[in-house]
Amino acid sequence: MQIIHTVKELREWRKTAGKVAFVPTMGNLHEGHLALVREAKKRADNVVVSIFVNRLQFGQGEDFDKYPRTLQQDAGKLADEGVAVVFTPDEKELYPNVEQRYNVEPPHLQNELCGKFRPGHFRGVATVVGKLFNIVKADVACFGKKDYQQLTIIKGLVEDLNFDIEIVPVDTGRASDGLALSSRNQYLSKTERAEAPRLYRELQKAAEAVRSGSVAYLQIEKEVVRSLSEAGWTVDYVEIRHAQTLEVARAGDTELVILGAARLGNTRLIDNLEVLLS
């Protein structure tokens, strides 16, 4: 496995790499990331994993400086998975002008759901992903469904800007108790970790109500918020949306996703559950 730090070196490697699958990450890798790598390996001759903590997607007061940098451990895990290249540029390499002068501006969706609570986050995501797509020139890229809004925005980015790359969604990795795997889980106290799976259980209850035929979506959302709040959570949102567009769901929609974000102590957790109606 090669660890590459510069755009020039990666582009030179790419010339003879055959079909390439790409997994962009910010490092501090867990089993969910490795599931993306395994899916990528099925689809290409070589897999490139980027590790770059992207300042542009962190808002004021968020944990950019505290975000764990664990390159040595991450590289060991990726070597064990048979990854061909780890691309780990520094900020000057990826943002040579210090301040990024041209940014990718997603549509209104960037200001809804998680974007309402993290202004500018999805602009930062779209910008860095666009740059990485141009650098890696991969044939395929794998993204996890846990970050469902991010996945939807990336799909739109590829479609609207004509990137020649296939986006492969990968199901959310979960612990045995249902908690979605996330780097943020390590911030949970022992008591909070025991409570954390409640978010997924509440989304499951909401999904069951929808499958039973209820179209009282606002009431279903309110019930999840009430249940979480009574258990000590601070809820950002729980919403039922169209699974493909993330527009607000309407009666008659058959492809739905229930999304939630809430804080447990100081840790913000997100999760979602797709609901397909016949």
Single residue among 143, 170, 197 that ends a domain in this structure: 170
184 is in an annotated binding site: yes
Rounded CA separation 187/165 (Å): 35
pLDDT of residue 99: 84
Instruction: Provide the pLDDT confidence category of residue 66 given band limits of 50, 70 and 90.
Output: confident
Question: Are 7 and 64 in a shared domain?
Answer: yes
User: Are 12 and 129 members of one domain?
Assistant: yes
Please give the C-alpha separations between residue 214 and each of 207, 211, 238, in angstroms, as whole numbers: 10, 7, 16
**pLDDT of 63 higher than 90:** no
Does residue 58 belong to any structural domain of this protein? yes
Q: Which pLDDT does position 263 carry in this prediction?
A: 98
Is residue 143 located within the same domain as residue 22?
yes
Residue 164: exposed, middle, or buried by beta-carbon count in 10 A (0-12, 13-18, 19+)? exposed
Does residue 177 fall inside a structural domain?
no
Q: Which residue stretches of the chain are H helix?
A: 7-14, 31-41, 71-80, 91-94, 114-117, 121-136, 148-160, 190-195, 198-211, 217-230
What's the pLDDT tens digit per position in 246-270?
999 998 999 999 999 999 999 999 9
**What whole-number distance in Å separates Cα of residue 45 and Cα of residue 124?**
30
Q: Is residue 178 part of a domain?
A: no
**pLDDT at res. 246:** 98
CATH of the domain at 148: 3.40.50.620
26 is in an annotated binding site: yes
76 and 195 fall within a common domain: no
Q: Which domain holds residue 29?
A: 2-170
Q: Report pTM.
A: 0.95
Strand, coil or helix: what is 19? Answer: coil
62 has pLDDT over 90? no
Residue 183 in marked binding region: yes
Residues 39, 36: Cα–Cα separation, whole Å: 5
Looking at the structure, do residues 32 and 94 belong to the same domain, yes or no?
Answer: yes
What CATH number has the domain bearing residue 238?
A: 3.30.1300.10
Positions marked active-site: 33
Do 251 and 158 fall into the same domain? no
Reported as a single tens digit per residue, the pLDDT across 109-143 is 999 999 999 999 999 999 999 999 999 999 999 99
**How far is it, in rounded angstroms, from Cα 263 to Cα 33?**
22
Q: Per-residue pLDDT for 61 more than 80?
A: no
Q: Is 213 annotated as a binding residue?
A: no
Find out whether 31 is annotated in a ligand binding site. Answer: yes
On whether 181 is known to bind a ligand per the annotation, the reply is yes
Residue reference for tokens 């899916």: 39
